[in-house]
A and B are shown apart, each in its own frame.
Chain A
Amino acid sequence: MKYDLMIIGGGPAGYLAAERAGHAGLKTILFEKNNIGGVCLNEGCVPSKALLYSAKIYDYAKTGSKYGVTFEGASLDQEAVIKRKKKVVKTLVSGVKGALKANKVEVIDGEGIIEKRSDDGFNISCDSTTYTGSRLMICTGSVPIMPPIEGLKDAYEAGFAMTNKEVLELTVVPKKLVVVGGGVIGLEMASYYNSAGSEVTVVEMLDRIAGITDTEISKILKKNYEKKGIKFNLQSKVVKFTNNSVVYEKDGETVEALADKVLVSIGRRPMTQNIGIENIGVALTERGAIITDDKGRTNVAEVYAAGDVNGKSMLAHTAYREAEVCINNILGKKDRMRYNAIPAVIYTNPEVASVGETEETAKQKGIDYECANISMRYAGRYVAENEGGNGICKVLVDKKYNKVIGVSVIGNYSSEFIYGASFMIETEMTVDDIKEIVFPHPTVCEVIREALFAF
């Protein structure tokens, strides 16, 4: 039996590639050592959204009086929340499994290791069986970075320190939660446990939270969460974990923060170890990511890679698109990956969504731009639904071409309408053209249209 395509890793890149390849008639096999759906579906994007929605309802209940609705005795049942999360994950995982089956993809429940190149292409071994295929796609994703900090290993083994996996399984809300790393995962979990009743402290090494998000928006988000009671320690470096505290240095002083649990979310690294890529000579970057070109090809002919493993964007939707680019190229269709219009969302309450350039990146690139920065209160629905809301929308326009190059929004629903801004960037429509588009009224997304009329 010889396969047209062998895929290692069943996360967003792997399962989508398998579906597309199978649909196109390629004889496809997929190896997944843990769960189909990968980190995204099982212990990342999707379960965290289930949790955050519960938190949002609870928040609404608690703040309902602002809108003239009072709830008595509202409470959050963590066990029930986790139970529902499991149901959501199960539904979606079985959906993916069904799609794979419908597209005639053979799924192997086990760890596929690349053995060698053979006369027929490549060999993968899995549980002492050897599989042969003419093409290979590596979609092994990424793993949380666990830095060599004193005490972390023990703290993790003791269940005191957690990664994104464990934090989504907690059936008891910790009284005190320390979050190390104020990026997307850290903030979303800080947001959830803050709503659920934890006393949350975020320790971040940089002078800002939310990574590459627009600085101004990052400040607004921080302000919102400080109001809700989260403590932020920026420019703080964690030096030690004990069995009930995190020790960090800030402004030259050493501070010990007591905690019941600590989430370590300082980033993720490509998963390229122990999968046998050295057996066929796939080239890696210094940081251990697989080097791919804009068609998803590695340095080895007929070996492709997509998703977090290439270290480029580390987002599930990027992985989807990269996987499609790979499959299209395998099928001989012209396609290439572009990274200039990839949206990013933080599902906090309020949500933050952005795509394209921020003022910082535009300045770095030397783009001659103009920025419209307007209050979300220009959108009628935002005012109606966000009592005391302080969100903003920033639209960046390249002056030379009169085209939109970046949009950043803080405000709920922005996760759902940011794709519209991606569309503007991807198609390079001019501002004048976009002004002719009709937006539904009243909606929150109208704020983009309002901002464009500043130009």
Chain B
Amino acid sequence: MATAIIMPRQGNTVESCIVSKWHKQKGDAVAVGDILFTYETDKATFDEESSVAGTLLETYFEEDDDVPVLLTMCVIGEEGEDISGVTPDGASTVSEELATSEETVEVAEEKSAATATEAPIAGDTAKISPRAKNRAKKAGLDAAYATATGPSGRIIERDIIELEKSGPSVTKAAATSYVSGTAYAGTGIGGRITAADTEKGGIAAIAVDENFVEFEDEKLPNIRKVIAKAMHNSLSSMAQLTINMSFDASAIMNFRKGVKAKGEELGLPNITLGDMVVYTTAKTLLKHKGLNAHFTVDTIRRFNTVHMGVAVDTDRGLMVPTLFNSDRMTLAQISANTKDIAAQSKSGTINPDLLQGGTFTITNLGTMGVESFTPVNNPPQTAILGVCGITTKVKEANGSIKTYPSMGLSLTINHMAVDGAPAARFLKDLCNNLENFAVMLLA
């Protein structure tokens, strides 16, 4: 006599347990006292010992399945024994059904609201019960339009009954020229698809390769969880306002050209436009301390030095290492240190102490051609500067029109701490300083 082994109930409040491990596989011999499977509640882990001897004839759940208590987990008996008596209804699919039940309901609602001739979801139409298939055929319905509510996404009779109500149905004559899954405009009686409609053609369903994988799931790595939390926290806790301004980048571009030409000869590091923006921003911020500040519930802390956070794009996600005391660095130092902390961030070897303590942040998307954006502030900082790409603009000088390279800056402030006008004044100063970069080198 086959024996059904159930998922035990551990305590009154436990409604389901997760199967951590199967110690026996289907077909294995089982002795009394053998451990069949390990399962866990949210607090503890248990082993289920077998109370009977025999062969493990069938298992109904897989590892990592969340199984409601008292459901049959497996059956032990003699080989070849009929286990239909102890098989739970819809047995092997119980877990899938549970996992998808919520989703299915949503899809069904969406579907019924949709218009009758909406293209069906292309999929495995072979997943249909013979009874449903027969009914669909008799009623002149294309089962491809049915919303499957059966186990494992199988179309069952009730889905066809639903389809009979919501259509589209095909006349008997049109059945010969009808292509399953095609969205035709039905002009016949009661919106039926007629032979003439099929001749006009419809929107064919997109052919799907059987092996095509629609999506892949990836467990979130810790860094993504941290970023997600930080970003959400930022936007949900602040009144963020972004203002945009642009400046004539001729000065910094010419300077970079000069450094590039002479730099190697003089043993100078390669200075990027970004380095120059960081350098100038650090100098400028000292005159706008409201933006070089931390804002907490009852205090605003204005810093007398600039610890510049520099956003770095790494394979694992966004990281923001800090250039401490950047306002006191030379351009060459800024350049060398930025490269250094960026490299450490990318390799994952950066000291966690360097990932905090910033008083202001710069994020640079300019190299990717971004023209303006809304950087997300890094709390408790009060502002973040987005560096945009260079575009060609025209301006009037001495009565003539000339083109010039324009670089955009997007400044997001926490409006709870800083008002728009002081932010604009800072941005204006910054633009002026960048346009007169040579002078800044003397600052």
Chain A residues with a Cβ under 8 A of chain B: 294, 334, 336, 338, 398, 400-403, 426-430, 433
The answer for the CA separation of A135 and B177 in the assembled complex, in Å, is 41
Instruction: Check A429 against B191 for contact (C-beta < 8 Å).
Output: no
The 6 closest A-B pairs by CB, nearest first: A428-B171, A403-B173, A428-B173, A401-B173, A430-B172, A401-B195
Q: With A428-B173, A429-B172, A430-B172 known to touch, is A398 a contact of B188 (CB < 8 Å)? A: no
The answer for the CA separation of A294 and B186 in the assembled complex, in Å, is 13
Interface bin, chain B? 10 to 19
The answer for the CA separation of A403 and B175 in the assembled complex, in Å, is 11
Instruction: Check B187 against A428 for contact (C-beta < 8 Å).
Output: no
The answer for the CA separation of A401 and B177 in the assembled complex, in Å, is 8
Instruction: Check A428 against B194 for contact (C-beta < 8 Å).
Output: yes
Q: For residues 188 through 215 of chain B, which have their beta carbon under 8 Å from a beta carbon of chain A?
A: 188-189, 191-192, 194-195
Instruction: Check A398 against B189 for contact (C-beta < 8 Å).
Output: no
CB distance from A398 to the nearest CB of B (A): 7
CB distance from A252 to the nearest CB of B (A): 45
Instruction: Tell me which residues across on chain B come within 8 A of A401, comparing CB atoms.
Output: 173-174, 176-177, 195
CB distance from A411 to the nearest CB of B (A): 27
The answer for the CA separation of A433 and B138 in the assembled complex, in Å, is 12
A-B contact pairs, 12 of them (CB 8 A): A294-B187, A334-B191, A336-B187, A400-B195, A403-B195, A426-B188, A426-B189, A427-B172, A428-B172, A428-B173, A429-B173, A433-B172
CB distance from A424 to the nearest CB of B (A): 10
Instruction: Tell me which residues across on chain B come within 8 A of A428, comparing CB atoms.
Output: 171-174, 188, 192, 194-195
The answer for the CA separation of A334 and B187 in the assembled complex, in Å, is 10
| Residue with the highest number of chain A CB atoms closer than 10 Å, among B171, B173, B195 | B173
The answer for the CA separation of A51 and B187 in the assembled complex, in Å, is 39
Give A434's nearest chain B residue, CB to CB. Answer: B172
Instruction: Tell me which residues across on chain B come within 8 A of A403, comparing CB atoms.
Output: 171-173, 195
Chain B residues with a Cβ under 8 A of chain A: 171-174, 176-177, 187-189, 191-192, 194-195
The answer for the CA separation of A381 and B200 in the assembled complex, in Å, is 43
Instruction: Tell me which residues across on chain B come within 8 A of A398, comparing CB atoms.
Output: 173, 195
| Residue with the highest number of chain A CB atoms closer than 10 Å, among B171, B174, B177, B192 | B171
Instruction: Tell me which residues across on chain B come within 8 A of A426, comparing CB atoms.
Output: 188-189
Task: Given A428-B192, A428-B194, A428-B195, output 5 extra A-B contacts at Cβ < 8 Å.
Answer: A338-B189, A398-B173, A401-B177, A428-B173, A429-B172
Instruction: Tell me which residues across on chain A come within 8 A of B171, comparing CB atoms.
Output: 403, 427-429
Give A429's nearest chain B residue, CB to CB. Answer: B172
CB distance from B116 to the nearest CB of A (A): 8
Name the one of B176, B177, B187, B189 contacting A427, with C-beta atoms under 8 angstroms: B189
Instruction: Tell me which residues across on chain B come within 8 A of A336, comparing CB atoms.
Output: 187
Instruction: Tell me which residues across on chain A come within 8 A of B187, comparing CB atoms.
Output: 294, 336, 338
Give A402's nearest chain B residue, CB to CB. Answer: B173
Give B193's nearest chain A residue, CB to CB. Answer: A428
Instruction: Tell me which residues across on chain A come within 8 A of B189, comparing CB atoms.
Output: 338, 426-427
Instruction: Tell me which residues across on chain B come within 8 A of A429, comparing CB atoms.
Output: 171-173
Give A335's nearest chain B residue, CB to CB. Answer: B191
Instruction: Tell me which residues across on chain A come within 8 A of B176, comparing CB atoms.
Output: 400-402
| Residue with the highest number of chain B CB atoms closer than 10 Å, among A294, A336, A400, A401 | A401
The answer for the CA separation of A306 and B286 in the assembled complex, in Å, is 80
| Residue with the highest number of chain B CB atoms closer than 10 Å, among A398, A426, A429 | A426
The answer for the CA separation of A203 and B189 in the assembled complex, in Å, is 41
Instruction: Check B173 against A430 for contact (C-beta < 8 Å).
Output: yes
The answer for the CA separation of A294 and B196 in the assembled complex, in Å, is 16
| Residue with the highest number of chain B CB atoms closer than 10 Å, among A294, A334, A427 | A427
Instruction: Tell me which residues across on chain B come within 8 A of A402, comparing CB atoms.
Output: 173, 176
CB distance from A254 to the nearest CB of B (A): 49
Instruction: Tell me which residues across on chain B come within 8 A of A400, comparing CB atoms.
Output: 176-177, 195
Give B171's nearest chain A residue, CB to CB. Answer: A428
Give B115's nearest chain A residue, CB to CB. Answer: A334
Give A334's nearest chain B residue, CB to CB. Answer: B191
Name the one of A334, A338, A433 contacting B188, with C-beta atoms under 8 angstroms: A338
Instruction: Tell me which residues across on chain A come within 8 A of B172, comparing CB atoms.
Output: 403, 427-430, 433
The answer for the CA separation of A430 and B195 in the assembled complex, in Å, is 11
Instruction: Tell me which residues across on chain A come within 8 A of B177, comparing CB atoms.
Output: 400-401
The answer for the CA separation of A433 and B177 in the assembled complex, in Å, is 17
The answer for the CA separation of A402 and B195 in the assembled complex, in Å, is 11
Give B177's nearest chain A residue, CB to CB. Answer: A401
CB distance from A358 to the nearest CB of B (A): 18
Instruction: Tell me which residues across on chain B come within 8 A of A334, comparing CB atoms.
Output: 191
Give B174's nearest chain A residue, CB to CB. Answer: A428
The answer for the CA separation of A336 and B173 in the assembled complex, in Å, is 20
Give A423's nearest chain B residue, CB to CB. Answer: B189
The answer for the CA separation of A429 and B188 in the assembled complex, in Å, is 12
Instruction: Tell me which residues across on chain B come within 8 A of A427, comparing CB atoms.
Output: 171-172, 188-189, 192
CB distance from A369 to the nearest CB of B (A): 13
Instruction: Tell me which residues across on chain B come within 8 A of A294, comparing CB atoms.
Output: 187
The answer for the CA separation of A400 and B175 in the assembled complex, in Å, is 11
Instruction: Tell me which residues across on chain B come within 8 A of A430, comparing CB atoms.
Output: 172-173
CB distance from B182 to the nearest CB of A (A): 17
Instruction: Tell me which residues across on chain A come within 8 A of B188, comparing CB atoms.
Output: 338, 426-428
Instruction: Tell me which residues across on chain A come within 8 A of B174, comparing CB atoms.
Output: 401, 428
Instruction: Tell me which residues across on chain A come within 8 A of B194, comparing CB atoms.
Output: 428
| Residue with the highest number of chain A CB atoms closer than 10 Å, among B172, B188, B191 | B172
Instruction: Tell me which residues across on chain A come within 8 A of B173, comparing CB atoms.
Output: 398, 401-403, 428-430
Give A336's nearest chain B residue, CB to CB. Answer: B187
The answer for the CA separation of A334 and B172 in the assembled complex, in Å, is 22
The answer for the CA separation of A379 and B192 in the assembled complex, in Å, is 33
The answer for the CA separation of A84 and B192 in the assembled complex, in Å, is 45
| Residue with the highest number of chain B CB atoms closer than 10 Å, among A403, A427, A428 | A428
The answer for the CA separation of A401 and B170 in the assembled complex, in Å, is 13
Instruction: Tell me which residues across on chain B come within 8 A of A338, comparing CB atoms.
Output: 187-189
The answer for the CA separation of A398 and B171 in the assembled complex, in Å, is 14
The answer for the CA separation of A336 and B172 in the assembled complex, in Å, is 20
The answer for the CA separation of A294 and B187 in the assembled complex, in Å, is 10
CB distance from A53 to the nearest CB of B (A): 32
CB distance from B356 to the nearest CB of A (A): 61
